[in-house]
Amino acid sequence: MIEVIGLKKNYGRLEALKSISFKVDSGTVFGFIGRNGAGKTTTMNILTGLIRFNQGKIFIKGMDFLKHKYKLVKLMGYLPETPAFYNYMNAYQYLNFIGEIIGCNSGKSGSYTAKLLEMVKLKKQGKRRIGGYSKGMKQRLALAAAFMNKPEILFLDEPASALDPEGRVEMLELIKELKDEKITIFISTHILNDAERVCDKICIIDEGRILLTENLSQLYKTYIQPIFDIEFEQDPGDKINFLKKLGWIENIKQKDKMISLYVKDIDFARKEILKEISKLGAVISSYRIRKSTLEDIFIRMVSKNELV
């Protein structure tokens, strides 16, 4: 459905995208994940035709994007990270207005507008002024607007990042339901739990470079690695610094009294880890080994990239 080859984008001397390449299969949810400033929004703005790129090729449905841009953008729906609204309008008025702007005949159909509002669970609030909507309601309305042209490809830029826990759950459930419609969904996010819940394929970008692109199921098989979680009775503070010098420890993540050790050699670590931890002179309150999550894999890949 989408193929990106050697895509580069510069902002003056800043190289925002460094020859990135990836493929998005038709009818799948593609998770484009990375830290803020990694290049996610720049890539999405290029793919939706909002900004130009300096070098590379983009093919959508086998067509060269630059040669068929006008035709291809009509196949897209786009939910930006910070959608704009006219707060004096109600949802019906807003969607019909969007339909007129994009020249969409379906926008003239009250029944289609009602169907969209029902899809995003806003039909009962459809005649309320948008200014009285919660953030979650506004985000769902923006999703409905992205569907006005009945898109084949849907771009979602950080669709749940600004929402409270309840709003995030609602948005993710909507995305799950859209998977049944066989729409190709390109979702950009830095919230790894969200990507893990809805995506079929994951692409990690950091500092304008693609670090990996893999089906989620295969990603776990390839990169899964046990992690040692060790909790102390008191914050270990600077005592853990000497662990960072051990060659078989790849990375250490600390949160309050808990440290998570990412190791290069699991068998060696099992034999040596408690021996080394005992040298800290701190009391251990819990110790466990767990399997990697997408967040763990992301941390490992980004840490390796920082060393390049």
Residues 4-34: pLDDT tens digits?
Answer: 999 999 999 899 999 999 999 999 999 999 9
Confidence class of residue 150 from pLDDT cuts 50, 70 and 90?
confident
> What pLDDT score does 307 carry?
55
Nearest to 58 by CA among 243, 48, 225, 111: 48
Per DSSP bridges, beta strands 29-33 and 201-206 are: parallel
Mean pLDDT of the chain: 87
Q: Which domains does the chain have, with CATH numbers?
A: 2-214 (3.40.50.300), 225-290 (3.30.70.100)
The DSSP H or E segment spanning 259 is strand 258-263
Whole-angstrom distance between the N-terminal and C-terminal Cα of the chain?
A: 32
Q: Cα separation of 248 and 272, whole Å? A: 10
Going across the sheet that includes 55-60, the strands are 14-24, 2-11, 55-60, 63-64
In this predicted structure, the answer to whether residue 179 has a pLDDT above a threshold of 90 is no
- Portion of the chain with pLDDT greater than 90, in percent: 40
Residues in contact with 245: Cβ distance below 8 Å, sequence separation at least 6, in sequence order: none
In this predicted structure, the answer to whether residue 290 has a pLDDT above a threshold of 70 is yes
Q: Which of 197-217 are b and which e, b meaning 16 or more Cβ less than 10 Å from the residue's Cβ?
A: bbbbbbbbbbbbbbbebbebe
Residue indicated by tokens 């953008």: 73
**Burial classification of residue 280, based on how many CB atoms lie within 10 Å of its CB (0-12 exposed, 13-18 middle, 19 or more buried):** middle
Mean pLDDT of the 221-242 span: 82
> What pLDDT score does 87 carry?
92
Mean pLDDT of the 263-291 span: 84
> What pLDDT score does 188 carry?
92
Confidence class of residue 255 from pLDDT cuts 50, 70 and 90?
confident
The radius of gyration of the chain's CA atoms, rounded to the nearest angstrom, is: 23
> What pLDDT score does 107 carry?
47
- 58-117 pLDDT, tens per residue? 999 999 999 999 899 999 999 988 888 999 999 999 998 888 888 776 545 578 888 889
pTM: 0.77
